[in-house]
Amino acid sequence: MGKPPCCDKSNVKRGLWTAEEDAKILAYVSNHGVGNWTLVPKKAGLNRCGKSCRLRWTNYLRPDLRHDSFTPQEEDLIIKLHQAIGSRWSVIAKQLPGRTDNDVKNYWNTKLRKKLSKMGIDPITHKPFSQILFDYGSISSLPATPKPPLIGPFNKTLNPTTTTTMAKTQQPFSSGAYLGQQFQFQTPKKPQFFNEQPTTSSCSSSSINGGEGLFHFAASSSCCSEQRNGIEPFSQQCEGSSSDSSFDSFVDALLVQDCEIKGSFPEILDGCFDY
DNA sequence: AAAGTACTCAACCGCAACGCC
DNA sequence: TGGCGTTGCGGTTGAGTACTT
């Protein structure tokens, strides 16, 4: 026996909400407050699933919600937080008054991912595509004796050295200039092939503009790998953040960068990584 | 003007966590 | 402590709209 559905789907209305239904939810909440959503449809006179009512309230009807467009400052903050914690939309949304996790998630998926990709930044790792390709190439030269595993919860794998370094490297986030900082930090010389029109060379940019994401790009990477000239190796960017002066792998580099970013949001991320 | 395609975002789905008994 | 109901969350879907051909 599987888990029973939250309500009988054949007997409840689905799809877009009408103004009348919205009014019933609003009236109910103003009279009774928010609580036990499974009872709301019956008490409010709605032929809807309680879960659907809760979603409608939290994502649309709440009086503290904003319905205007995202500002550049909000955009920057979303990108920065996504880089720090990934797709934890509820955590990100809490830093944006009046925005819901659904808002943030939709905005990321429809706008920001594409924006980053067009800038030559992988929206998953937040690193320039060219650097990822270089690091990807370096994986094949990993040492024979592996380090202790680093993949996993950050606060369980960080050693004291790294934690101290995070505190040292912690930078207050100044909203509004993130994208510029991102490029200054990671790409002293902007990888030109992402910002120029396609040329007649075999390194067509069609895969960048058409499909986004690292792996799509990587499929056409072999001819462009030399383009990483001018990109600082990641180990140099995070000077002193590891016990070694250089990283043995792409994964190590990513983890150290993430640690540094997380250090920028101690008040937000406190406890978020207690797995 | 019509058809096809791309985009947006509200809503849904399913799972995990939480809280109460 | 285990069962059950509720809530929170992230991923996905699909209807409506905008844009392109």
In tens, the pLDDT along A6-25 reads 666 667 888 889 988 999 99
For chain A, the domain total comes to 2
Per-residue pLDDT for A42 more than 80? yes
Is the same domain home to A81 and A54? no
Q: Which nucleotide is nearest to A15 (CA to C1')?
A: B11
pTM to 2 decimal places: 0.65
State pLDDT tens for residues A211-227. 344 444 433 333 333 33
Report the pLDDT value the prediction gives residue A228, as an integer from 0 to 100: 37
In a domain, A254, yes or no: no
In a domain, A41, yes or no: yes
CA(A102)–C1'(B12) in Å? 12
CB proximity A90–strand C (7 Å threshold): yes
Domain boundary among A89, A108, A132: A132
Which residue type sits at A45? G
CA(A273)–C1'(C3) in Å? 29
In terms of average pLDDT, the best of A89-93, A136-140, A142-146 is: A89-93
Per-residue pLDDT for A274 more than 70? no
In a domain, A222, yes or no: no
In a domain, A34, yes or no: yes
> Of chain A residues 107-136, which have a beta carbon within 7 Å of strand B?
107, 109-111, 114
C-alpha angle A64-A50-A9 in degrees, rounded to nearest 5: 135
> Of chain A residues 75-104, which have a beta carbon within 7 Å of strand B?
102-103
Q: Can you tell me which residue has its alpha carbon closest to the C1' of nucleotide C8?
A: A90
The total of other beta-carbon atoms located within 10 Å of residue A51's CB is 16
Report the pLDDT value the prediction gives residue A251, as an integer from 0 to 100: 47
Is the same domain home to A42 and A82? no
What's the CA gap between A194 and A152, in Å, rounded? 32
Domain boundary among A111, A132, A153: A132
Is the same domain home to A89 and A125? yes
- Per-position DSSP letters for A107-122, written without gaps between them: HIIIIIHHHHHHTTB-
Q: Which nucleotide is nearest to A9 (CA to C1')?
A: B12
Is the same domain home to A35 and A88? no
In a domain, A274, yes or no: no
CA(A199)–C1'(C20) in Å? 24
Nucleotides of C under 7 A from a protein CB: 5-12, 15-16
Report residue A110's pLDDT band, with 50, 70 and 90 as the boundaries: confident
In a domain, A97, yes or no: yes
What's chain A's average pLDDT?
A: 63
Higher pLDDT, A271 or A100: A100
Is the same domain home to A75 and A116? yes
In a domain, A109, yes or no: yes
CB proximity A210–strand B (7 Å threshold): no
Burial readout A215-231 (b: 16 or more C-beta within 10 A, e: otherwise)? eebbeebeebeebbeeb
Report the pLDDT value the prediction gives residue A253, as an integer from 0 to 100: 53
**Under 8 Å CB-to-CB from A155, ≥6 apart: which residues?**
A273, A274
The total of other beta-carbon atoms located within 10 Å of residue A197's CB is 5
Higher pLDDT, A141 or A194: A141
Backbone angles phi, psi at A150, to 5 degrees: -110, -15
In a domain, A156, yes or no: no
Q: Which domain holds residue A118?
A: 70-132
CATH number at residue A127: 1.10.10.60
CA(A14)–C1'(C13) in Å? 13
State pLDDT tens for residues A191-213. 333 333 333 333 333 333 333 44
Is the same domain home to A51 and A77? no
Kindly provide the residue ranges of all beta strands, DSSP E only, lying in chain A, ordered along the sequence: none
CATH number at residue A23: 1.10.10
For chain A, give the percent of residues with pLDDT over 90: 11
Is the same domain home to A55 and A75? no
Q: How far is CA A89 from CA A86, A106, A169, A275, in A?
A: 8, 10, 26, 17
**Under 8 Å CB-to-CB from A1, ≥6 apart: which residues?**
none
CB proximity A62–strand C (7 Å threshold): no
